[in-house]
């Protein structure tokens, strides 16, 4: 039986509902907190289909191996999405991708494989090591979806440059983060915790600002207000 036949026969899948894909990062699996927390938050508040991409057979290996696999895994996911679109006659706006760390770049490559037509991608502290600004073929960028939101929480493990239509930097987007002390892994994981909470609380208020220093000095208080996270993502 093909994947689409299996999906068509699945009691939990409803082709009339929107589709969310969650993609974990390095060393994680479908059982990891990033997935359980986000899936729980989405399903508590929304009647949608949620898929978790489990690429743990590769992610448990060396970072360099996982890094080199990002494009191929993303294209594999894109193939699945494209088959769904054809099988169920779906509009690309019914697809949203959320990825953490390396998973953010996998989501980006998947979005590119759907011709950048998915409704949105949320990149949760996209991985930084080995990725460059010049090469967009193996990472998340604005051409991968109709809208790309990025949440930065550490410049140590994360990609610190702005690579989305809207980039958010909670607590300056660097570690140490509140509650994490000097733990960069903890700070890296805060990105998905912030996102999961935003789904339930309907977003965190943020201000457009040229620097964290200016924000702390109150010089951006009259700037554009935007919301981090949420299901009804802020595209203003």
Active site residues: 101, 125, 188
DSSP assignment letter at 101: T
Alpha carbon distances (Å) from 147 to 74, 120, 143, 220, 231:
18, 5, 8, 24, 13
Query: 21: which residues sit within 8 A by CB, 6+ positions away?
Result: 50, 51, 52, 53, 77, 81, 95, 96, 97, 98, 107, 110
The two three-digit tokens of residue 73, written as one number: 């895994």
The separation between CA 109 and the C-alpha centre of its own chain, rounded to angstroms, equals 12
153 burial class (0-12, 13-18, 19+ CB within 10 angstroms)? buried
């Amino acid at each position: 039986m093909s994947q689409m036949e299996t999906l068509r026969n699945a009691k939990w899948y409803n082709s009339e509902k929107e589709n969310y894909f969650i993609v974990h990062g390095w060393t994680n699996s479908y059982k990891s907190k990033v997935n359980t927390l986000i899936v729980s938050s989405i399903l508590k508040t929304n009647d949608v289909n949620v898929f978790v991409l489990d690429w743990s057979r590769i992610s448990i290996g060396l970072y360099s191996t996982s890094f080199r696999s990002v494009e191929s895994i993303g294209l594999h996911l894109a193939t699945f999405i494209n088959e769904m679109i054809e099988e169920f006659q779906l509009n690309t706006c019914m697809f949203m991708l959320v990825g953490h760390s390396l998973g953010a770049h996998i989501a980006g490559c998947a979005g590119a494989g759907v011709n950048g037509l998915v409704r949105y991608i949320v990149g949760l502290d996209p991985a930084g090591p080995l990725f460059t600004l010049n090469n967009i073929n193996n990472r998340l960028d604005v051409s991968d979806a109709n809208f790309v939101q990025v949440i930065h929480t550490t410049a140590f493990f994360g990609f610190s440059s702005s690579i989305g239509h809207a980039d958010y930097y909670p607590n300056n987007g660097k570690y140490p983060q509140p509650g994490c002390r000097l733990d960069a892994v903890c700070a890296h994981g805060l990105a998905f915790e912030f996102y999961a909470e935003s789904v339930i609380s309907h977003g965190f208020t943020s201000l457009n600002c040229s620097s964290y220093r200016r924000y702390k000095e109150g010089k951006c208080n009259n700037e554009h207000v935007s919301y981090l996270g949420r299901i009804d993502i802020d595209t203003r």
